[in-house]
């Protein structure tokens, strides 16, 4: 026991503090019991409060999170608990930076010195080709062995800071990899001892060995450096005349396969960038040798791009990194770039059709993981159809307008997409906008003939089939128009104008085809003019019906839809019909449209008296048998009361 008087004094002070704390706890318990007794209205006899004893706290009982109970979302606190800030990364010491620089420079100087020594030996006649190869192999093995030894020492050393040794290990291992790739290149290209296919196989084997070392030893800087070397290595060993050498295009995918951890996002970022650059280089190589490139080369490049796009999307969403920006680049931007670079390589081949299932696969992966990629994939599918329509081999008579299969498949997919978006209650404008824009593009040639006074191109059965497909598409979209109610006004106006254009194409094409069947060339022109006049009349009559007699629409909705139709009809009359139509069709179009506008101006105010309010009456109030003015008066009376 201690005999120091200071320790004894400190012990007495500590005991006094404990006694004071126990007394305070006892007073607090008595006050709490008194409050509970007054609230319950009963008296509880005072009982002596025992002195508090220190007992171990019971283990907390497991309770289900109310957020997941019974499958319903419980109310959460409006103020979420603050997340602890991420610890800041310690700055890299200056000594470590210097050591890294020295390691890199030292490895480069070593390689340069060996090269100079070998050159000197060759000039002196002391070293032949075989000796050069053997010496280079020994150098690669020595560098790799030194790197592995230094890495093992780094893990065992405890008496010093080993962070700077990573740079040395990286320099040695990466230099060994580059020397190995150089040896294989010399055996294939310079010495011509190996065929190109054997060099590609050996290169892939050596690459996998070094990649395994970087994974097993957890050397992410080695993986990053190897990723940066993919582009020069692949471009040197790739030969479009030798199919086995096409294996080097899979180097980015092999590196992507080892980036499953949440740490080290730089490896995946480098892999994504290199994959896009390699795909662009392959496309550029095909373009420059397009006249001598076999068809199988184009197919392979296109397939590599599509498979890589799906692989990056799946790996990013299945094994996301901690950095959201890296996930965005590797999971959305990279797949879209790879898909776009794969399209030109598949030009005029059957592989162009694989763009559509690839885009659908991106959407499926995104929706499966509830990621933004789902919506992006839906938009990309529409773009894929446009690329197929643009780059597909000609069908039928050879013109794009005869590629009925592309248009038919597109509109069938468009109908399914509308049903899917409505089912998921998609509130974003972009999927709808992309598919509507794609519909305008794939019917571009038909629209050009409708507006260009070229009815001779509208009498073919192919044009009629496209017109019927457009009609089905518009019918399904009109039946699901409630899904568009929450969109901004500008989006609804744009969609309405595009739908009116497609309806014009449908009506004019059908009328021209029918006129040609009935009256030959004369009937064709009469059907064309009558179709345009009929479109203008239908737009005006529909506007009048919506503004005057439509049921189940609010004042604001009916006013907006009617005004859009009326403006579209007037613009078509003045801009197109006045200069294109002639004779009775033009006169009837102007006469009926004018009467419809006069009817709208005269009867709209009678349908909606001024006392009905500002036109925001709910449709349920219009259908309950009461007059709008009466409803407003009742509401006013309630408010005054």
Non-local (6+) Cβ contacts of 183 within 8 A are: 133, 136, 137, 140
**CA 355 → CA 150, 282, 294, distances in Å?**
48, 18, 21
- Write down the pLDDT at residue 641: 35
Residue 459 above 80 pLDDT? Answer: yes
Non-local (6+) Cβ contacts of 455 within 8 A are: 449, 512, 516, 524, 525, 527, 528
**CA 419 → CA 298, 477, 492, distances in Å?**
36, 9, 18
Record the tokens describing residue 60, joined without a space.
Answer: 């907390």
Q: Say how many residues make up the chain.
A: 641
Non-local (6+) Cβ contacts of 617 within 8 A are: 554, 555, 628, 631
Q: What are the phi and psi torsion angles at 73 (to 5°)?
A: -85, 115
Q: Which residue has the higher pLDDT, 332 or 491?
A: 332
pLDDT single digits (tens) 396-433: 434 444 467 888 899 999 999 999 998 888 888 999 99
Q: How many CA atoms lie within 13 A of 149 on its CB side?
A: 6
Record the tokens describing residue 591, joined without a space.
Answer: 């006469």
Judged by average pLDDT, the poorest of 8-22, 103-117, 212-226, 360-374 is 103-117
- Write down the pLDDT at residue 69: 32
- Write down the pLDDT at residue 78: 45
- Write down the pLDDT at residue 89: 56
12 by Cβ neighbours in 10 Å (0-12 / 13-18 / 19+) ranks as exposed
What's the gap between Cα 592 and its chain centre?
49
- Residue 353: DSSP 8-state: G
Residue located via tokens 């009815």: 455
Residue located via tokens 């299969």: 405
- Per-residue pLDDT band at 513 (split at 50, 70, 90): very high
pLDDT single digits (tens) 573-613: 888 877 777 778 788 888 888 888 888 777 766 655 433 44
Report d(CA 535, CA 572) in Å as an integer. 9
Q: Which residue has the higher pLDDT, 163 or 612?
A: 163
3-state class (DSSP) for residue 550: coil
Residue 350 above 60 pLDDT? Answer: yes
Average pLDDT, the chain: 79
> How large is the average pLDDT for residues 544-558?
73
> How large is the average pLDDT for residues 346-358?
87
Q: Contact at 8 Å (CB) between 114 and 142?
A: no
Q: Contact at 8 Å (CB) between 330 and 283?
A: no
What's the first-to-final CA gap in the chain, in angstroms?
87
> How large is the average pLDDT for residues 200-204?
95
- Write down the pLDDT at residue 612: 43
3-state class (DSSP) for residue 530: helix
> How large is the average pLDDT for residues 296-315?
93
Report d(CA 641, CA 16) in Å as an integer. 70
Residue located via tokens 């008087």: 5
> How large is the average pLDDT for residues 303-308?
95
Domain limits, the chain: 97-194, 414-620
**How many C-beta neighbours within 10 Å does residue 32 have?**
10
* DSSP secondary structure string for all residues of 93-116: PHHHHHHHHHHHHHHHHHHHHHHH
Residue 627 above 50 pLDDT? Answer: no
- Per-residue pLDDT band at 87 (split at 50, 70, 90): low
């Amino acid at each position: 026991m201690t005999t120091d008087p200071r320790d004894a004094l400190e012990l007495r002070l500590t005991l006094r503090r404990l006694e004071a704390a126990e007394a305070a706890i006892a007073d607090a318990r008595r006050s709490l019991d008194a409050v509970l007794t007054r609230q319950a209205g009963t008296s509880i006899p005072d009982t002596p409060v025992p002195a508090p004893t220190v007992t171990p706290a019971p283990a907390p009982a497991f309770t289900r999170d109310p957020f997941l109970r019974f499958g319903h979302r419980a109310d959460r606190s409006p103020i979420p608990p603050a997340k602890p800030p991420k610890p800041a990364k310690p700055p890299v010491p200056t000594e470590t930076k210097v050591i890294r620089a020295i390691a890199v420079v030292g490895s480069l100087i070593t390689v340069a010195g060996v090269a100079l020594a070998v050159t000197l030996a060759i000039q002196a006649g002391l070293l032949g080709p075989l000796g050069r190869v053997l010496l280079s192999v020994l150098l690669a093995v020595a560098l790799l062995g030194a790197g592995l030894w230094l890495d093992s020492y780094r893990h065992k050393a405890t008496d010093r800071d080993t962070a700077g040794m990573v740079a040395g290990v990286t320099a040695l291992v990466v230099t060994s990899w580059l020397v190995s790739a150089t040896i294989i290149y010399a055996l294939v290209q310079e010495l011509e001892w190996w065929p190109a296919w054997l060099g590609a196989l050996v290169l892939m084997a050596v690459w996998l060995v070094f990649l395994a070392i970087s994974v097993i030893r957890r050397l992410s800087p080695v993986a990053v450096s190897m990723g940066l070397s993919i582009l020069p290595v692949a471009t040197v060993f790739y030969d479009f005349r030798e199919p086995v050498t096409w294996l080097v295009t899979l180097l980015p995918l092999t590196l992507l396969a080892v980036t499953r951890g949440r740490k080290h996002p730089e490896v995946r970022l480098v892999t994504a960038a290199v994959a896009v650059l390699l795909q662009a280089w392959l496309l550029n190589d095909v373009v420059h040798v397009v006249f001598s490139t076999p068809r199988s080369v184009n197919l392979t490049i296109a397939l590599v791009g599509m498979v890589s796009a799906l692989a990056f999307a799946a790996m990013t969403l299945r094994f996301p990194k901690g950095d959201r920006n890296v996930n965005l680049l590797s999971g959305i931007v990279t797949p879209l770039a790879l898909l776009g670079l794969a399209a030109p390589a598949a030009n005029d081949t059957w592989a162009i059709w694989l763009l559509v299932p690839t885009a659908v696969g991106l959407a499926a992966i995104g929706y499966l993981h509830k990621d933004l990629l789902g919506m992006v994939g839906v938009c990309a599918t529409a773009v894929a159809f446009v690329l197929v329509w643009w780059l597909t081999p000609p069908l039928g008579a050879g013109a794009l307008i005869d590629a009925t299969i592309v248009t038919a498949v597109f509109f069938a997919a468009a109908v399914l997409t509308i049903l899917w978006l409505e089912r998921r209650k998609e509130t974003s404008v972009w999927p709808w906008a992309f598919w509507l824009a794609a519909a305008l593009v794939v019917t571009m040639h038909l629209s050009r003939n409708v507006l260009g006074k070229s009815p001779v191109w509208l009498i073919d059965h192919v044009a009629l089939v496209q017109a019927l497909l457009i009609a089905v598409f518009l019918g399904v979209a009109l039946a699901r128009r409630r899904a568009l109610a929450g969109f901004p006004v500008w989006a609804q106006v744009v969609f309405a104008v595009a739908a009116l254009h497609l309806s014009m194409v449908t009506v004019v094409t059908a009328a021209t085809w029918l006129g040609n069947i009935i009256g030959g060339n004369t009937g064709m022109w009469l059907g064309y003019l009558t179709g345009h006049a009929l479109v203008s009349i239908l737009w005006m009559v529909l506007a009048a019906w919506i503004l005057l007699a439509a049921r189940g629409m609010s004042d604001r909705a009916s006013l907006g839809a009617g005004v859009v139709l009326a403006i579209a009809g007037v613009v078509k009359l003045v801009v197109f019909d006045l200069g294109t139509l002639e004779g009775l069709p033009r006169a009837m179009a102007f006469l009926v449209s004018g009467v419809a506008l006069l009817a709208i101006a005269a009867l709209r105010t009678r349908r909606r008296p001024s006392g009905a309010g500002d036109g925001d009456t709910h449709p349920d109030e219009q259908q309950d048998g009461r007059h709008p003015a009466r409803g407003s008066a009742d509401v006013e009376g309630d408010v005054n009361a």
